[in-house]
Amino acid sequence: MTAPVVKGAAYALVHTPDMIMHYGTTCALEHEANPESEFLKKFPEFLRSYEEAVKYAPNQVYIGNMLPDELNTIEKPWYKNLIQDANSEGKMGEIVDQGELYAAIKISDAFDLVVLEKGFLEETKAKLAKKPMYTEAELAKLKEGAEQSEIESRVKEGAEPFYMGKKLVGCVKAAHDKDKNLTAHIMTENLVAKASGVIALKNLIYRNNIPADSIEYVIECSEEACGDMNQRGGGNFAKAICEIAGASGATGSDTRGFCAGPTHALINAAALVKSGVYKSVAIVAGGATAKLGMNSRDHVNKGVPVLEDCLGGFAILLTENDGISPVLRTDIVGRHTVGTGSSPQAVMESLITKPLDKVGMKITDVDKYSVEMQNPEITEAAGAGDVPLANYKMIAALGAKRGDIDKAAMPSFIKDHGMPGFAPTQGHIPSGVPFVGAAREMIMSGAIERAMIVGKGSLFLGRMTNQFDGVSIIMEKNTGREESAGAVSKEEVKEMVAEAMKDFASFLLNGRQG
The answer to whether 238 and 252 are in contact (CB under 8 A) is: yes
The answer to whether 420 and 414 are in contact (CB under 8 A) is: no
What CATH number labels 5-113+174-476? 3.40.47
Give yes or no for residue 491 having a pLDDT over 80.
Answer: no
Q: Nearest-CA neighbor of 191 among 99, 108, 308? A: 108
Average pLDDT value for the chain:
93
Q: Can you tell me the mean pLDDT for 373-396?
A: 95
pLDDT band with cut points at 50, 70 and 90 for residue 497: low
The answer to whether 24 and 321 are in contact (CB under 8 A) is: no
Give yes or no for residue 463 having a pLDDT over 90.
Answer: no
CA distance 292 to 454: 24
Q: How far is CA 58 from CA 62, 376, 422, 454, in A?
A: 6, 10, 5, 20
CA distance 260 to 32: 31
Q: How far is CA 394 from CA 110, 348, 366, 417, 473, in A?
A: 47, 7, 15, 12, 18
Q: Which residue has the higher pLDDT, 378 or 342?
A: 378
pLDDT band with cut points at 50, 70 and 90 for residue 15: very high
The answer to whether 447 and 97 are in contact (CB under 8 A) is: no
CA distance 94 to 132: 13
Which residues are paired to 218 by β-bridges?
252, 282
Looking at residue 367, its amino acid is D
Q: Can you tell me the mean pLDDT for 43-61?
A: 98
Looking at residue 243, its amino acid is E
Q: Sketch the domain layout of the chain as residue ranges.
A: 5-113+174-476
The answer to whether 413 and 405 are in contact (CB under 8 A) is: yes
CA distance 28 to 267: 36
| C-alpha of 505 from chain center | 56
Give yes or no for residue 77 having a pLDDT over 70.
Answer: yes
CA distance 297 to 302: 9
Give yes or no for residue 198 having a pLDDT over 90.
Answer: yes
3-class secondary structure per residue, 416-442: HHCCCCCECCCCCCCECHHHHHHHHHH
CA distance 267 to 348: 18
Residues 199-245: pLDDT tens digits?
A: 999 999 999 999 999 999 999 999 988 887 777 777 899 999 999 99
User: For residue 512, what pLDDT is reported?
Assistant: 47
Give yes or no for residue 504 having a pLDDT over 80.
Answer: no
User: For residue 273, what pLDDT is reported?
Assistant: 98
Q: What is the pTM of this model?
A: 0.92
| C-alpha of 384 from chain center | 22
Q: How far is CA 447 from CA 57, 92, 208, 245, 451, in A?
A: 21, 18, 21, 33, 11
